Structure 1
Amino acid sequence: MQADGIDAFLEMQAAERGAALNTLAAYARDLADMTAVLHAGGVTARTAGEADLRAYLAGLAGQGLAARTQARRLSCLKQYFLFLAREGMRPDNPAALLEAPRLDTPLPRFLSEGEVEALLAACAPEPDATPARQRRLQVARAALEMLYASGLRISELLALPRRALDAAPGMMLVRGKGGRERMVPMSARAREAARALMEADAARRSPFLFPGRGVARPMTRQGFDRILHDVALRAGLDPARLSPHVLRHSFATHLLAHGADLRALQVLLGHADIATTQIYTHVMLDRLREAVADHHPLSHAGELEVG
């Protein structure tokens, strides 16, 4: 066993936690880097104190490592020093009180309302389209209408059974993360597109609303991505800007922009925690700024700058 207990720690991660080879390799690199820095300062993992670890983490920041990389390194250190303390290799855990750097939460990417309409309009087939082409665009229209009308995750959409539309009028039953079921409203346009696809696919006798090449299984994510790529090009949009999650973000962003409540949005999106939904509050902040700019008496006189 290494004096610093790294081998034992990695063995524990593999045996008890089933850590992947890539994870173990990353842990080994992180711990080798830390011990080298500690040894250069005359201490070891068994003798290092909290101040030594803080100095090491400060050095990572000084090297320009991204906050996310620093946070990953700290996670490794916390697990490692907890292991040393539990195994009696040192009397305490000097990493217990260390805090990860604050991670900036990127704003969600979304389409404008005009871009969404262009995307949906691009699902109309050409007059001379082949039957295969017509069905491909019919799949695209049903999927895009439903994603934008309900904010579904792509995994939820592709797993929908044909009977999903048989719920209460105007609603659809969705099984989300962790097997949690929820009812989501479905627009008349989306229901119409879905039922048109069901009629076109009646002969396939698939249990899924969006069947794959083998009708016993749903369409794959890769198959849908190819359809989305084609429709984006037809709509004059950069396919790199478009994904099912961008449509989900567009649904949420546009709802809030038109006055929806954050709690209602949480239920519609199937978020277990309101904190997850709060990434969309940038829209609410924009609306508040606009409200002040439009209605505050000083803003019209040029004496109140908002922004």
Structure 2
Amino acid sequence: MSDIAVSNGSVNAAGLKSDARREELWMLAITFPAVLLVTLLVLLPMSWLSWLSLFDANGVFTLQNYARLAISGAYVTILIDTFVVSFAVTLLVAFLGYPVAYLMAQSSPKVTSILLTAVLLPYWTPVLVRTYGWMAILQRNGPLNDVLIAFGLVNEPVEFLYHTSGAIIGMTQIMLPYLIIPVYIALRGVDKDYLKAAAGLGASPTVAFWRIYFPLSLPGFAAGALLVFILSLGFYVVPALMGGGKVTVIAMRIERSVMVYPNWGAASALAVVLLVVTLLLLAISIRIARLAGNFR
């Protein structure tokens, strides 16, 4: 009898291994088109750029492109300005987007649909069109300055455009949906019974929000903020138009290196450095999130 049981166990184990192997093959077959697409559109171009950064204009192997980035103060300034602008945009988007996501999560389905449409409707408009719209609003003789002067808030038109502030304003409006949607999804997943339990234990609505609601929404908030920051690092159209040439980010410098000089090696080196720094920040953020999760 025991021999039969052992035999049946061996057959079942072999069957489970066969099923697991078959499932792995199916998963490989299903994901192969996506992996192939990512390889062709992402990995190969990135590898090509990395390869170009190691050669000069004559095709001679050199590290001069990277040495120039480390030695030249202009490149360091551009890198710092890019991260400062991206960080400022992320802070503004977080400050403006979280209350909107909270309102959407707490409202009725009808109000939520209206708010969601209002958030996504500008996203359906091309970035270039929205940028020129903001330029019309923020110009010296634009409606925003007219309103500020009419209410006596300023005595003369404010220079919003062609400065860092103009680029930050335009990028903030474009990046808002990238934070509002993840935060809204995270807030909708919070069980309302937690807040009722906190109220039953004597916690005020403010205490319940900061001690329960906000911590539970942090995963969505962190994901949205990180997405906004990374996407802001590669912006080109808004800083180029609304910055008026006084704001130079890495994307603008890469375009100038290719179209004006042209120097594919220098442009590739800039792209590689931006990619490496972004990946390092992403890894640090993931590490901090894991440590915070373990701490809780």
Q: Same fold (TM over 0.5)?
A: no
Q: Larger helix proportion, structure 1 or 2? A: 2
Larger RCO, structure (CA 8 Å, separation 6 or more):
2
Q: Which TM bucket (shorter chain)?
A: under 0.3
